Amino acid sequence: MDLFTLTAAQLIRLIASGKASVKEIADAVRSRLKETNGKTNAFIRSYADELVRSGPCPIPIGIKDNICVEGREVTCASRILKGFHSPYDAGVIEKVRFSGGILLGGLNMDEFAFGSSSESSSYGIIRNPWDLKRVPGGSSGGSAAAVASGAAVWALGSDTGGSIRQPASFCGVVGLKPTYGRVSRYGLIAFGSSLDQIGPLTKDVTDCATLLKIIAGYDERDSTSVAVGVPDFTKALQRDVKGLKIGIPKEYFIEGIQPEVLTAVQAAVDFFKKEGAIIQEISLPHTEYAVATYYIVATAEASSNLARFDGVEYGLRSLPDKARKSGIVDMYEETRAKGFGKEAKRRIMLGTYVLSAGYYDAYYLRAQKARTLIKEDLDQAFLDCDIILSPTAPTTAFMIGEKVNDPLSMYLSDIFTIPANLAGIPALSIPCGFDANRLPIGLQLMAAPFAEEKLLATAFAYEQAHSWHLERAVI
Ligand code: GLN
Q: Does 64 qualify as catalytic in the annotation? A: yes
Q: Which of 116, 117, 163, 184 is catalytic?
A: 163
Q: Does 120 qualify as catalytic in the annotation? A: no
Please tell me the distance between residue 414's alpha carbon and the centre of ligand 1 in angstroms: 7
What would the pLDDT profile of 296-323 be if each residue is shown by its tens digit? 999 999 999 999 999 999 999 988 776 5
Nearest-CA residue for atom 4 of ligand 1? 115
Which whole-number Å values give the CA distances from 456 to 210, 405, 462, in the listed order? Answer: 11, 37, 10
Which of 76, 116, 165, 350 to mutate for ligand 1's pocket (most ligand atoms within 8 Å of CB)?
A: 116
Please tell me the distance between residue 230's alpha carbon and the centre of ligand 1 in angstroms: 27
**Taking CB atoms and a 6 Å cutoff, what residues make up the pocket around ligand 1?**
113-116, 139, 159-163, 191, 298, 414
pLDDT tens for the chain, residues 1 to 475: 799 999 999 999 999 999 999 999 999 999 999 999 999 999 999 998 887 778 999 999 999 999 999 999 999 999 999 999 999 999 999 999 999 999 999 999 999 999 999 999 999 999 999 999 999 999 999 999 999 999 999 999 999 999 999 999 999 999 999 999 999 999 999 999 999 999 999 999 999 999 999 999 999 999 999 999 999 999 999 999 999 999 999 999 988 899 999 999 999 999 999 999 999 999 999 999 999 999 999 999 999 999 999 999 999 998 877 656 678 888 999 999 999 999 999 999 999 999 999 999 999 999 999 999 999 999 999 999 999 999 999 999 999 999 988 888 888 889 999 999 999 999 999 999 999 999 999 999 999 999 999 999 999 999 999 999 999 999 9
Q: Does 139 qualify as catalytic in the annotation? A: yes
**Cβ atoms of residues 305 and 344 within 8 Å:** no
Q: Which of 116, 118, 139, 184 is catalytic?
A: 139
- Three-class SS state of 246: strand
Q: What does the alpha-carbon distance between residue 30 and residue 304 come to, in Å, rounded to a whole number? A: 38
Domain 3-244+383-470 has CATH 3.90.1300.10: yes
Burial classification of residue 52, based on how many CB atoms lie within 10 Å of its CB (0-12 exposed, 13-18 middle, 19 or more buried): middle
CA nearest 367: which of 424, 295, 285?
A: 295
What would the pLDDT profile of 421-457 be if each residue is shown by its tens digit? 999 999 999 999 999 999 999 999 999 999 999 999 9
**Cβ atoms of residues 12 and 3 within 8 Å:** no
> DSSP readout, 145-188?
HHHHHTS-SEEEEEESSSTTHHHHHHHT-EEEEPPTTTB--TTB
**Cβ atoms of residues 396 and 261 within 8 Å:** yes
What would the pLDDT profile of 32-55 be if each residue is shown by its tens digit? 999 999 999 999 999 988 877 789
Which of 64, 198, 414 to mutate for ligand 1's pocket (most ligand atoms within 8 Å of CB)?
A: 414
**Model confidence, pTM:** 0.97
